[in-house]
Amino acid sequence: MNSIDKFIIDRANTWLQGDYDDNTKQEIKLMMENSPENLTDSFYRDLEFGTGGLRGIMGAGSNRMNKYTVGMATQGFANFLKNEYQNIKQISVAIAYDCRNNNTFFAETTANVLTGNGIKVYLFDDLRPTPELSFAVRYLKCQGGIVITASHNPKEYNGYKVYGDDGAQLVSPQDKMVMEEVSRINSLSDVKFADNKNLLSYIGSEIDEIYIQKIKDESLNPEIINKHKDLKIVYTPIHGTGVKLIPAALKKFGFENIISVKEQNVVDGNFPTVHSPNPEESEALKMAISKAKETDAILVMASDPDADRVGIAVRDRNNNFVLLNGNQTASVLFYYILSQYKDKGKLHGNEFIVKTVVTSEILIDIANSFGIDYYDVLTGFKFIANVIKLEEGKKKFIVGGEESYGYLIGDFVRDKDAVSACCFIAETAAWAAENGKSIYDIMEEIYTKYGFYYETLKSVVRQGKSGAEEIQDMMDNYRSNTPQKIAGSKVVMVKDYLLQINKNILTLESTPIELPKSNVLQFFCENGSKITVRPSGTEPKIKFYFGVKGQLNAGDDFDSKTNELKNQVDKIISDLKL
């Protein structure tokens, strides 16, 4: 005990003496006796309610996900709703949860506090994808939504994401208003844990069917799917929420040969077959690719635990499976959807697409080639959703995406959606097959037509207070000492999203950036390279996004051209001394 800071002991004793359950107190006592490091980490701060909600390790303590931190966050959200919607007779909120440990408990705790505050709750009767929660908020005309998930974080984590009445995660000023309300909850006595069962309704398959039908309504080539309904497709939910709805949605689209990875169909918040349930990592798709080789499938798809992101693997020209990154999948999806809109006479001059500023510039090239407006937004799908909201009734949203494997087709959901994305990736494969091609062939054709884009990400981790200061010093230095050249190519434009200035280095002209302030810098080079520097808002790291561009001619070797661009990125990394 002597090695533990008095501040930590005092905070822990407050819980031991407070109105907390016996299991929580026993866990704290064990940490006091055996694990001073865990005790410190559990109590050195309050678990932060950020612009998206909560995320943290589960356990006892003020810096952990537990009944009490979830209850206090929910009370703050309830207070916000009651202030914001004073003229609505019955405020309502939809709640969903994924496969993580304790998710039903946290969902029920959330429902109890909301109903205790007189708020009507629609609680899903079992785990559901995050995008279906977004859909349910809109369909049921709720004023808010909550999904219990920690996305692809390790099994020790859980989280809590908050949605507004448009089915999207909150943006300013509402997100700040909720944060302020949560910060005012200082004790358990402020939280109304006593539930009101009369205000709780369970929802189930009826919402599933409507949601899946809405996805099916967006299908562009049902007749082609019918011709290629036997395409062999391997899908894995990686122990997560997609296990129910994604196979059902694919079947609704008309695909009849969906092959599962049985070991990963088991819903399990411990994710026993993978190191991390993250479809961005090759290891997460290893079992699915093995199954695809065994069954001679042409496509592998894997969704993350809450089924809002999807990673894919396709066969290359040598019939080997290769993983596509988020930018590559986005380029294929965008190209397929826009080309079919054009071919079917569905373009009327008021359509648009949205991407994030760190996502590949090839999506802009594709949009321009079809005469489609585009919007670049800050990182985070809530900003894509906000553009859809602002343009609603004036322009038609077609498709949006981000490099971190999130895509959205149609506007009936307002978050990234692996359910609809899987359906349209499969439909793209059927369309390619109808033309005697594969998804890989389509990707190569896109690169030949628009330029060969190669993107990658490097994170630099700096721990502790000194690390945070070092990261800030790096950003300050890049702002005050703009590189004249990067890897031998002139820097021709700098975008500073904190100062909200877009500066042309050649003409010295500056134009405003009409986006919220964010600590992000972008350098654009004469040769088409784009370097984005962005400190993480949740981790002690600074992220560097690299995008370079070359030329791929018909018949060129794809792998050798890829290596050329990789070498170009290596030169940029060396120039920036990373």
| Pairing of the two strands 541-550 and 310-315 | unpaired
Distances (CA, A) of 494 to 276, 377, 500: 36, 16, 11
User: What is the C-alpha to C-alpha distance for residues 98 and 361, in angstroms, rounded to an integer?
Assistant: 33
Is 151 marked active-site? yes
**Burial of 200 from C-beta contacts in 10 A (0-12 / 13-18 / 19+):** middle
In which residue are the tokens 């322009």 written?
A: 395
Contacts of 133 (CB under 8 A, 6+ apart): 94, 95, 96, 124, 145, 146, 147, 163
DSSP state of 116: H
| Pairing of the two strands 299-303 and 258-260 | unpaired
User: What is the C-alpha to C-alpha distance for residues 552 and 523, in angstroms, rounded to an integer?
Assistant: 24
Helices (H), 117-161: 130-139
Angle of CA points 416, 550, 441, to nearest 5°? 60
Contacts of 396 (CB under 8 A, 6+ apart): 348, 350, 351, 352
User: What is the C-alpha to C-alpha distance for residues 92 and 115, in angstroms, rounded to an integer?
Assistant: 9
* Phi, psi of 384, rounded to the nearest 5 degrees: -65, -45
176 Rama sector, left if φ>0, alpha if ψ -120 to 50, beta otherwise: alpha
| Active-site annotation holder among 62, 92, 134, 151 | 151
User: What is the C-alpha to C-alpha distance for residues 226 and 22, in angstroms, rounded to an integer?
Assistant: 59
Rg (CA), the chain: 24
Q: Are 97 and 148 in contact (CB under 8 A)?
A: yes
User: What is the C-alpha to C-alpha distance for residues 106 and 71, in angstroms, rounded to an integer?
Assistant: 9
Q: Are 155 and 271 in contact (CB under 8 A)?
A: yes
For the annotated catalytic residues, the residue numbers are 151
